[in-house]
Amino acid sequence: MKEKRCKRIAIAASEAAAIAGIHLRTAQRLLAKIRERTGKQKRQFVSIAEFCAFTGFVEQDVFNMLNNF
Establish if 61 belongs to a structural domain. Answer: yes
Rounded-to-integer distance, Cα 56 and Cα 20, Å: 11
**Full domain range(s) for residue 57:** 13-67
Establish if 27 belongs to a structural domain. Answer: yes
Establish if 7 belongs to a structural domain. Answer: no
pLDDT the model gives residue 19: 95
Mean pLDDT by 10 residues, the chain (69 residues): 70 96 98 97 95 96 89
Domain count, the chain: 1
pLDDT the model gives residue 2: 60
Cβ proximity of 16 and 51 under 8 Å: yes
Establish if 6 belongs to a structural domain. Answer: no
Establish if 18 belongs to a structural domain. Answer: yes
pLDDT the model gives residue 8: 82
pLDDT the model gives residue 46: 97
Distances (CA, A) of 54 to 1, 3, 4, 68: 29, 23, 23, 22
Cβ proximity of 4 and 67 under 8 Å: yes
Q: What is the pTM of this model?
A: 0.87
Helix (H) or strand (E) holding 6: none
| 3-class secondary structure, 55 | helix
Establish if 40 belongs to a structural domain. Answer: yes
